[in-house]
Amino acid sequence: MNRVTLGQQSTWLAKRKRELGLTGRDYVPVNSGARRTAGKQALLDKLAEINRTSKRALRFLSRS
């Protein structure tokens, strides 16, 4: 097993992202939600409803 420090890993990852032309957060795959359970979807729907009616917005994105 090879051991690397977090600094070494960060350096390697930054280099690899530059090689691939990835910038910012555009390289993070979006969760499609295709395998989301009914309970989880109901929870997200309720949070989205609260977010619509509340003066103080919740910090999440609903992809329903």
Look at residue 45 and tell me if it is in a domain. yes
Look at residue 47 and tell me if it is in a domain. yes
Look at residue 26 and tell me if it is in a domain. no
Burial annotation 34-64 (CB, 10 A radius, 16+ → b, else e): eeeeeeeeeebeeebeeeeeeeeeeeeeeee
Look at residue 18 and tell me if it is in a domain. no
Model confidence pTM above 0.75: no
Look at residue 62 and tell me if it is in a domain. yes
Domain count, the chain: 1
Structure confidence by residue, pLDDT tens digits, 19-50? 988 877 666 766 788 899 999 999 989 988 88
Look at residue 53 and tell me if it is in a domain. yes
* 15 pLDDT tier (thresholds 50, 70, 90): very high
Q: Which domain holds residue 57?
A: 36-64
Contact 48, 64 (CB under 8 A): yes
